[in-house]
Structure 1
Amino acid sequence: MTLHVTEVSTCSVDNCAFNHEHECNAYAITVAGTADHASCGTFIDTSALGGLPKVLAHVGACQRGECLHNDHLMCNAHDVRVGPGADAADCLSYEHR
């Protein structure tokens, strides 16, 4: 089981409520998606600002059981990057086993 909480190191999804100058200010994100694809389940497409002013997000849960970094539904990657991909906000650190 992972012993650390993975940081969201960058977010390049400009239209997300939690993106503040390419840093995610949600308390935590959920990595969601479909088979062979991982997306940010916390993404909210709005111009309203959300989140906390000084807290940078971590990965709270990962629903992608087939990801190389998934350990008991927690992310054990050093950090994750969120950005546009197949969806508007994808986990760019996702690696299929």
Structure 2
Amino acid sequence: MAAVAPISTCTTTSCAFNNGGCTAFAITVDGAAVCSTFITLDARGGLPVAEGHVGACQRLECAHNIDLMCTADGVSIGGDTAACLSYEAN
């Protein structure tokens, strides 16, 4: 079984799952190479610790995508749109 990629950093502070890092159990990186789990609310949610992972990746031409799973050692998310900064085209 393949390991899931951890979210090393997330600087999208407007996301309700960012509380000193990503507190979502797992995120999905969509076809636009952004975190589709990103949500803006007036509350913080997720796990009590920042240990998020990439559960699925829809960016087929990314060098880290194997069988819709991210194989990067770590993923960085950032910017106002929660872009996957670790995306690398094949």
Range of TM-score over shorter length: over 0.9
Q: Of 28, 31, 42, which residue of structure 2 is paired with 1:30?
A: 28
Instruction: Report what 1:12 is aligned to.
Output: 11
Partners of 1:10 and 1:24 within 8 A in 2: yes
How does the TM-score come out when normalised to structure 1? 0.86
The structure that is strand-richer by fraction is 1
Instruction: Report what 2:76 is aligned to.
Output: 81
SS across alignment from 1:20: coil
Q: Which segments of 5 or more consecutive residues in structure 1 lack a partner in the other structure?
A: none
SS across alignment from 1:39: coil
The alpha carbon displacement at 1:16 in A equals 0.2
Q: Which segments of 5 or more consecutive residues in structure 2 lack a partner in the other structure?
A: none
Is 1:94 matched up with 2:87?
Answer: yes
Instruction: Report what 1:51 is aligned to.
Output: 46
Identity of aligned residues (%): 54
Q: CA RMSD in A?
A: 1.4
The alpha carbon displacement at 1:4 in A equals 1.1
Q: How many residues align structurally?
A: 90
SS across alignment from 1:4: coil
Instruction: Report what 2:59 is aligned to.
Output: 64
Report runs of 4+ in structure 1 exceeding 6 Å deviation: none
